[in-house]
Structure 1
Amino acid sequence: MRRAILAGLILGVAIGGVSPLAATAKAVGHPAIPAAIFTDPPADAAHPPRMEVLHIPSGGVEINGVAYLAGGAGVHPTVVLLHGLPGNEKNLDLAQAIRRAGWNVVTFNFRGSWGSPGAFSFEGNLADAKAVLAFVRDPAHAGPLQIDTHRLVLAGHSMGGWVTALTAAQDDGLAGAVLICAADMAGRGATAAAKPMVVKSMAENMESLAGTSPEKMADEVIAISPRLSFNAQVAKGLATKPVLVLTSDDGLAPNAEKLVKAIEADGSHAVTLHHEATDHSWSGKRIALEAAVISWLQGLK
């Protein structure tokens, strides 16, 4: 998502200072910088790192994807990385760093975005994420791509964080989930009365999107709220697996912190909250983003 104002509009969250919970998480300290951020992996002539173009069936079309595959023999743990709305920041520097740490990374463009065929829709995004997970778990693909299907992590930025939360809450086969500035697309505040403002904000995020319009997007946001929001069922589902929640000064932190509290209330001792004083795209904290994600991945069993 490009603008914090859109997040505030949809979520009804005031954009302000860092909350006490975020300040506490920030005070915990920064993780050490993993070597993968600044060091290439040892050369493996027999099994070098590589990239594969993917065409993933979803909703009657084949969406576009790319697999950044780690070097080395055998299967590798894998992150499926989701972009936001419209997805100008795709976090491919993060994908490359994760690969240097020995993980595969699968990225893709949602239906109707960035050249993927079909019509863009928010519920379509949820279906696409499930389709991608099914694709990478299929032995016909997992084998050639050297994917360890027992060590799959779903990660998403902004709108992709919303997709990640809802998808991971229903998927007991995931090893964990990462929410980066998660924007609850079905959060409180999206009502019929607010439609003109939602339309205006959606119009600012139409680049690269096909088969939709600001009016259609606003109608869908209103229709799925609060059915597909960060609700009690999402928190309960996320409480069964490790979750990393990353927040910034974009106005979305309070809602993410509320979700963290709900996950903890459901008995989880495996949710980690980390805050950085930066913008929605982590423009000034890219190394910190990579360090937080890779350190957390390396701590998974």
Structure 2
Amino acid sequence: MFDPLAADPPRDPEFPATTPEVTFDSGGERLLGVLHVPAGRGPHPTVVLLHGFPGNERNFDLAQALRRAGYAGLVFHYRGSWGVGGSWSWGHVLEDAAAVVTGLPGLAEAHRLDLRRLALAGHSMGGFAALMTAAAHPSVAAVASAAAFDLGAAAALCRDDAEVRARYVKAFDGELAPLRGTSGQALVGEMEAAGDTWQLARLAPRLAGRPVLLIGTGHDAVTPNELHHDPLVAAYQAQPVERLEHHLFPTDHALSDHRVTLARTILAFLDRVL
């Protein structure tokens, strides 16, 4: 049996695997992306991978594994990050993710994409963006989130405790090297202004009819599961989100020693639901 995490698929000389650069327009800026297109005539189910803040882990290993398994995997950068023009903000991340979802049909024919089988998968803040974007776009058939950062839950802590707020400001300030146009104070302020509208548990009614994968990380100081994962699982079970799958892995925020487990879990989920 072919294992996409351990072997390369056969080459198709007529429809070879490719790795084209792609761009998307969002807020007057050009988002830069890389599409990992599998071999074969297709059309191929498509997965948009949303990286976190600031994006040190961009999940290219997942994109390659997805391609070997027959999925087209897209990795892109948001405004104000990693050389892309514009300024970084949480709101811009959500706008950019939406721009990619709505812009993909323009790439479908050229790159053999099947957008009836479109999934979003995100890590950390990218998990937040994946769930928020899927909830806002019924065209997204399935969504997977790993170590999601629940901005609404964090905002509530900041409003209630000045010391916690100061720690978030300091932590965000320490991650700004690849970003432009923002600050820790600005990011915490934006988070607080959005408040409960960015609580991921509130998305349950809009995701109730679709497959959702939630992966928590049990040794994680960035998104401790007690705040960012467990309440979300409980809320989605209570809705219920009938096609919910959830796991808690004993690993750190980047799933540093669980990358193969992460890939296998996401692939198994997508194979079942797409």
Question: Using CA pairs below 8 Å that are at least 6 residues apart, which structure has the higher relative contact order?
Answer: 1
| Secondary structure in structure 2 of the residue aligned to 1:160 | helix
Instruction: Give the Cα–Cα distance (whole angstroms) in 2 for the partners of residues 123 and 261 of structure 1.
Output: 26
SS at match of 2:39: coil
| Percent of residue pairs identical | 35
Closer, same or farther: CA 34–87 of 1 in aligned 2, 3 Å: farther
Q: Is this contact kept in 1: 2:201–2:236, CA < 8 A? A: no
> Are the aligned partners of 1:34 and 1:294 in contact in 2 as well (CA < 8 Å)?
no
Letter in 2 for 1:279: D
Matched positions, count: 266
The CA deviation string for residues 231-267 of structure 1, in whole angstroms up to 9 with x for no partner, is: 42x1111212001111112153233222122122223
The corresponding residue for 1:236 is 205
Task: Give the equivalent residue in structure 1 for 2:247.
Answer: 274
Q: Secondary structure at the match of 2:198?
A: coil
Q: In the alignment, which residue of structure 2 is the partner of 1:169?
A: 135
How far 1:224 sits from its partner (Å)? Answer: 1.5
Q: In the aligned structure 1, how far is the partner of 2:240 from the partner of 2:213? A: 16
Residues 246 and 231 of structure 1: is their aligned pair in 2 closer, same or farther, counting only changes over 3 Å? closer
Structure 1 position 269, deviation (Å):
2.1
TM-score (normalizing by structure 2): 0.93
Whether 2:74 is the aligned partner of 1:106: answer yes
Q: Following the alignment from structure 2 to structure 1, what is the Cα–Cα distance between the partners of residues 60 and 102? A: 22
Deviations 1:157-193 (A, max 9, x none): 0000011111111221111000010011222212283
Partner of 1:91: 59
C-alpha displacement of 1:198: 2.4
Deviations 1:114-154 (A, max 9, x none): 11111000011001000000111x2x321112110100001
Paired residue for 1:211, among 171, 175, 181?
181
CA distance in 2, matches of 1:268, 1:290: 23
Query: What is the aligned partner in structure 1 of residue 113 from structure 2?
Result: 147
Match of 1:76 among 23, 37, 44: 44
Residues 72-105 of structure 1: CA deviation (Å, up to 9, x unaligned):
0031000000000101011111110011000000
Question: Which residue of structure 1 lines up, in the alignment, with residue 269 of structure 2?
Answer: 296
CA distance in 2, matches of 1:290, 1:227: 30
SS at match of 1:144: helix
**Which residues in structure 2 correspond to 1:3-42 (within 5 Å)?**
35-42=3-10
Is the contact between residue 183 and residue 252 of structure 1 (CA under 8 Å) also seen in structure 2? no
- Once the two structures are overlaid, the 10-residue window that deviates more, 37-46 or 188-197, is 188-197
**Which residue matches 1:252?**
224
Tell me what 1:185 maps to. 151
Name the structure 1 match of 2:260: 287
Could you tell me whether the CA contact under 8 Å between 1:98 and 1:294 is conserved in 2? yes
Which stretches in structure 1 are left out of the alignment for 5+ residues? 1-32
1:267 is paired with a residue whose SS is coil
**One-letter amino acid of the counterpart of residue 209, structure 2:** T
The reply on whether 1:46 has 2:14 as its aligned counterpart is: yes
- Name the CA distance, whole Å, in 2 between partners of 1:61 and 1:182: 26
The Cα offsets for residues 176-234 of structure 1, whole Å up to 9 and x where unpaired, read as 000010011222212283543322111111120011122211211221222212242x1
Deviation at 1:34, TM superposition (A): 7.0
The answer as to whether partners of 1:182 and 1:252 remain within 8 angstroms in 2 is no
Q: Is the 8 A contact 1:190 1:221 kept in 2?
A: no
Partner of 1:226: 196
Greater mean alpha carbon deviation, residues 186-195 or residues 273-282: 186-195
C-alpha contact 2:37 2:71 (8 A) present in aligned 1:
yes
Distance 2:231 2:113 in 1: 34
Counterpart residue identity of residue 118, structure 1: G
In 2: Cα distance, 1:110 partner to 1:190 partner = 25
Q: Does the CA contact (< 8 Å) of 1:164 and 1:179 recur in 2?
A: yes
SS of alignment partner, residue 151 of structure 2: coil
